[in-house]
Structure 1
């Protein structure tokens, strides 16, 4: 089985391979594909669509049995700004299996900058004076004091995807 992961981001690749290898055997290929949404999704709908598009585009690009897409975004609510993340798995049926992940509130000063047009990764780099937070602990790692990092967050999401897939194909 060939499993195409729609990203070159190491945290997302590790998350998918860690979660899936416990339940399926296959060759994992990471491929840089478009999400066909904005670089910084600003709603659940856009973030979910980005994950679905990445899964479909990865599967098609690699002629894989399964395509997996993971996408992070930000949602503005009456309470404040929340990180959101969505994942999708697409197989031969082309009907996506979709799951949403953890959410935490982030400071308004971060959310305001993102909703003004900056990408969360760039804002986080500046906020914590580090480079490439998005490919390491992520905003979730910063705002959970390192208790949950981006790989863990996306691993849980990936487990939800493979679990649904296995249930559907039992």
Structure 2
């Protein structure tokens, strides 16, 4: 798989190499939140962020923390195996879990670098309406259930359940972005994680 050639670096940055980040998904929300998170964490660096269609090796709709976290890890690992020339690899996986008689939604983020360092983080969780939970328990993915309940199309590449349920107060990109920054903690505070 070939990526576009790296952009020319402005004269004041010629000594600084652009860093390539590969996201284990072509979902534009996941790619953009990754780019935003890296820029927030490392504002002095320039990143090129690209998405690849990568298999998570878990269910289409992961259920529970363990399966969702594994999906994020597998996306990062498989992105690294697919494009080993990058500097960082990111996996983002959304999941659901029953908590008593309610269903919660969340996502896990895994980030790997060339030195074998791995950072992980989980987003905040929120309770899904029963109408969506029932559809998921019946075999639908969260994105499909959102589309059906909210009469939308392809909401998982837009504002997602969190955006629709908060009426845009928090969109999916913003929701994931904070978790990307938190997964970068071992790289930000590397002296404490080596």
TM-score band, normalised by the shorter chain? over 0.9
Q: Name which of structure 1's ranges 7-16 and 23-32 shifts more when overlaid on structure 2.
A: 23-32
Task: Tell me if structure 1 keeps the 8 A contact 2:29–2:157.
Answer: yes
Separation in 2, partners of 1:113, 1:21 = 37
Q: Name which of structure 1's ranges 95-104 and 82-91 shifts more when overlaid on structure 2.
A: 95-104
Q: RCO (CA 8 Å, sep 6+): is it higher in 1 or 2? A: 1
**Between Structure 1 and Structure 2, whose CA radius of gyration is higher?**
2
Query: Aligned-pair RMSD on alpha carbons?
Result: 1.5
Structure 1 equivalent of residue 148 of structure 2: 126
Which sections of structure 1, spanning at least 5 residues, go unmatched?
Answer: none
User: Where does structure 1 differ by over 6 angstroms across 4 or more consecutive aligned residues?
Assistant: none
Which sections of structure 2, spanning at least 5 residues, go unmatched?
Answer: 1-18
Q: Name which of structure 1's ranges 47-56 and 89-98 shifts more when overlaid on structure 2.
A: 89-98
1:95 is displaced (CA, Å) by 4.6
Q: Is 1:48 paired with 2:48?
A: no
1:97-112 to structure 2, matched below 5 A, reads 97-112=119-134
Number of residues of Structure 1 aligned to a counterpart in Structure 2:
170
Task: Tell me if structure 2 keeps the 8 A contact 1:37–1:46.
Answer: yes
1:70 is displaced (CA, Å) by 0.6
1:93 is displaced (CA, Å) by 3.8
Q: TM-score, normalised by structure 2?
A: 0.82
Structure 1 equivalent of residue 177 of structure 2: 155
Structure 2 equivalent of residue 165 of structure 1: 187
Q: TM-score, normalised by structure 1?
A: 0.93
